[in-house]
C-alpha cells in the first residue's frame, strides 16, 4: 500500500479552484467557436452549457470514486486495490500515456500559434526546448510549486486578457443570436461532444487528490472552478456569435485571438503579440500539471523518483515535436487527444465507479453473511 503524502507537501483545498481552472482553459479558448458554430450555429452557446454541466457531473463522480481509494490515495492506489498490482498497473500506465499526450498536445498547439503569429521562421524545436526546460524547473520543485504556477496562471490572464474579449461589443449584431432553439437535440449533443476537449483538465485531480488537505472539502472549489470556466466560455461564445456570422467564422482559425486586433493603442501596433505573450501563463500550467501527473504515476508504479523520470519524459516530448511540424498533423493530434480524453472522463471513469461501487456492495454483503 502506498504511503500517505507528508503533511509538508500538502496544499490548501481552495487552491483546487486555481488548479482546475488553470488546467481547463488552454489553447482551445482561442479557437473553439468554429466547430461549434458549424454544427449548432447561433445555438452553439447551448453546447457550451451542456458540456459544462456534464463536467460538473463528472467532477462529482470523480470525488465519489476517489473516496473509495485506500487511505485517501490517488487513482493508482485505487487501481492496485481493486484490480491487483499487474492489471491495475496496466490501467495506470494507460493513464500515464494520456497525461503525457495531453501535455504534448497543448505544447504543440501553442507553438503553432507562436509560429503563425509571431515567429514564422523559427523551428518548433526551439520553442519546445525553452518550454520543456522551464517545465523541468517547475515540476522538479514539487507539487506546491506547480500549484503556485496555476494560481498566477489564473489571476494574471483574468486581469489582463479577459477584458479584451469585450472589445467586439462595439460592432455587435445581436440579431445573430436569433432564432433560438433552431437546431435539433442531436446537433446540440454533437456540438457538446466537440466542446469536451475544452473542459478537459479536471481529470488531473485523479493524481493530485492525496496532496490536498482535507481533500473531500475541496470539491466545492473544483465545482466553482468549473463554473468559472463555463462562464468564460459562455461569454466568449456569445460575443463570437454576435460579432461573427456563421459564414465569416469558417474562415477564422483563432476567433478569440482575432479580438485582440480590434483595440487601437498608439504605442502598440500589434496587440495580439501582447496577448500571445501573456497567454504563456495560460498554457504553461497545463503542461506542468500534466507532466507532474505522468511522472507521479511513474513513481507510484516503478518506484522511480520524479526527478529521474522527468528528464526522460521531457526528452520524449521534445523528440515528438520534431515529427509534428505541419498544421494538419497538429489538428489531427488535437482531435485524437479529444477522443482519448473524452473516453477517459466520460466512459472509463463512470465504468470504474460502477465497478468499484459494485465490488464494495458485494464485499459488505459477504461480510454481513459471515
CATH number of the domain at 337, please: 1.20.1740.10
The DSSP 8-state label assigned to residue 345 in this structure reads: I
Inside any domain, residue 302 = yes
**Helical residues (DSSP H) of 203-348, grouped into ranges:** 205-208, 219-243, 246-249, 255-258, 271-278, 280-302, 306-321, 327-342
As a whole number, mean pLDDT of residues 207-219 equals 95
108 or 70: which leads in pLDDT: 108
Q: Which residues of 143-163 are buried (b: 16+ CB within 10 A; e: fewer)?
A: beebbbbbeebbeebeeebee
pLDDT score at 97? 97
Give residues with Cβ within 8 angstroms of 177, minimum separation 6: 42, 238, 241, 242
- List the one residue out of 18, 47, 16, 24 whose CA is nearest residue 241: 47
Cα-based distances in Å from 312 to 298, 308, 342: 11, 7, 27
Q: Rounded to an integer, what is the distance from CA 215 to the centroid of its chain?
A: 20
Inside any domain, residue 206 = yes
pTM exceeding 0.85: yes
Inside any domain, residue 3 = no
As a whole number, mean pLDDT of residues 348-364 equals 94
Domain that includes residue 268, residue range: 9-369
Inside any domain, residue 2 = no
As a whole number, mean pLDDT of residues 158-180 equals 91
Inside any domain, residue 93 = yes
Q: What is the mean pLDDT of the chain?
A: 92
In angstroms, the first-to-last Cα distance of the chain is 26
pLDDT at 2 over 70: no
* Grid cell in block for residue 244: 461573427
pLDDT score at 353? 96
pLDDT score at 14? 97
**Is 268 in a helix, a strand, or coil?**
strand
Inside any domain, residue 4 = no
Q: How far apart are CA 157 and CA 47, in angstroms?
A: 25
- List the one residue out of 231, 236, 225 whose CA is nearest residue 202: 225
Inside any domain, residue 196 = yes
Inside any domain, residue 1 = no
Tell me the angle at which helices 280-302 and 85-117 cross, rounded to the nearest 10 degrees: 160
Render pLDDT for 216-268 as a digit per residue (tens, 0 to 9): 999 999 999 999 999 999 999 999 999 998 888 888 989 999 898 888 777 77
Counted domains in the chain? 1
- Lowest pLDDT segment from 58-67, 116-125, 308-317: 116-125
pLDDT score at 113? 93
Q: How far apart are CA 207 and CA 20, in angstroms?
A: 12
Amino acid at each position: 500500500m502506498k504511503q500517505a503524502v507528508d503533511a509538508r507537501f500538502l496544499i490548501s483545498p481552495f487552491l483546487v479552484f486555481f488548479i482546475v481552472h488553470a488546467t481547463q482553459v488552454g489553447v482551445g479558448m482561442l479557437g473553439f467557436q468554429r466547430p461549434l458554430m458549424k454544427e449548432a450555429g447561433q445555438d452553439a452557446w447551448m453546447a457550451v452549457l451542456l458540456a459544462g454541466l456534464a463536467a460538473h457531473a463528472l467532477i462529482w463522480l470523480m470525488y465519489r470514486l476517489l473516496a473509495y481509494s485506500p487511505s485517501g490515495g490517488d487513482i493508482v492506489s485505487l487501481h492496485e486495490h481493486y484490480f491487483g498490482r499487474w492489471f491495475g498497473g496496466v490501467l495506470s500506465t494507460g493513464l500515464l500515456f494520456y497525461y503525457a499526450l495531453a501535455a504534448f498536445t497543448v505544447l504543440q498547439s501553442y507553438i503553432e500559434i507562436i509560429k503563425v503569429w509571431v515567429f514564422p521562421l523559427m523551428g518548433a524545436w526551439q520553442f519546445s526546448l525553452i518550454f520543456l526546460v522551464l517545465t523541468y524547473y517547475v515540476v522538479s520543485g514539487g507539487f506546491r510549486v506547480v500549484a503556485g504556477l496555476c494560481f498566477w496562471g489564473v489571476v494574471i490572464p483574468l486581469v489582463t486578457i479577459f477584458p479584451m474579449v469585450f472589445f467586439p461589443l462595439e460592432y455587435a449584431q445581436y440579431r445573430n443570436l436569433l432564432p433560438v432553439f433552431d437546431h435539433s437535440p442531436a446537433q446540440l449533443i454533437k456540438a457538446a461532444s466537440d466542446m469536451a476537449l475544452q473542459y478537459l483538465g479536471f481529470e488531473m485531480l485523479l493524481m493530485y487528490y492525496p496532496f490536498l488537505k482535507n481533500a473531500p472539502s475541496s470539491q466545492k472549489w473544483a465545482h466553482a472552478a468549473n463554473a468559472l470556466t463555463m462562464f468564460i466560455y459562455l461569454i466568449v461564445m456569445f460575443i463570437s456569435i454576435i460579432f461573427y456570422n456563421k459564414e465569416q467564422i469558417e474562415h477564422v482559425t483563432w476567433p478569440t485571438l482575432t479580438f485582440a486586433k480590434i483595440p487601437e493603442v498608439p504605442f502598440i501596433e500589434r496587440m495580439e503579440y501582447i496577448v500571445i505573450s501573456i497567454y504563456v501563463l495560460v498554457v504553461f500550467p497545463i503542461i506542468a500539471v500534466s507532466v507532474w501527473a505522468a511522472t507521479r504515476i511513474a513513481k507510484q508504479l516503478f518506484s522511480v523518483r520524479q526527478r529521474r523520470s522527468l528528464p526522460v519524459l521531457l526528452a520524449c516530448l521534445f523528440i515528438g515535436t520534431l515529427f509534428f511540424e505541419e498544421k494538419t498533423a497538429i489538428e489531427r493530434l488535437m482531435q485524437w487527444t479529444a477522443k482519448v480524453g473524452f473516453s477517459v472522463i466520460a466512459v472509463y471513469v463512470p465504468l470504474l465507479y460502477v465497478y468499484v461501487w459494485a465490488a464494495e456492495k458485494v464485499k459488505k454483503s459477504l461480510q454481513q453473511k459471515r
